[in-house]
Amino acid sequence: MDVRSSLSYLYWLFCQFELITCSYLMEPWEKLLFYSFNLALLGLLLYTTYVCVALQASSAFQLLCSLLANPQDSALAVVK
């Protein structure tokens, strides 16, 4: 893949983002605040997703291991 074409594509995506959000009309200090706020929210969203998915995967793995270790006892525990 050509580096120049990928940089051109990223620039095109950034221009599309600016057009959609109308941030090309903002002053530089407004852009800085806007982009900082959006990046902070994106970071918090990714971190929260990572933590929640890790917790859910861990509990699912523990449940699966307990079901595979002794399936008869697990089935009785579910019924009770």
Domain ranges of the chain: 3-78
What is the rounded CA–CA span in Å between residue 75 and residue 51?
30
Of 61, 62, 39, 43, the residue nearest 51 (C-alpha): 43
Instruction: Please tell me whether the overall predicted TM-score, pTM, comes out greater than 0.85 for this model.
Output: no
* pLDDT (0 to 100) of residue 8: 92
27 sits in the region (left: phi over 0; alpha: psi -120 to 50; else beta) called beta
Query: What are φ and ψ of residue 59, in 5° steps?
Result: -70, -35
What is residue 22's DSSP assignment?
Answer: T
Does residue 19 or residue 75 have the better pLDDT? 19
Tokens encoding 5: 């074409």
- Is the confidence at residue 72, as pLDDT, over 90? no
What is the rounded CA–CA span in Å between residue 67 and residue 55?
18
* pLDDT (0 to 100) of residue 71: 60
Average pLDDT over residues 44-50: 93
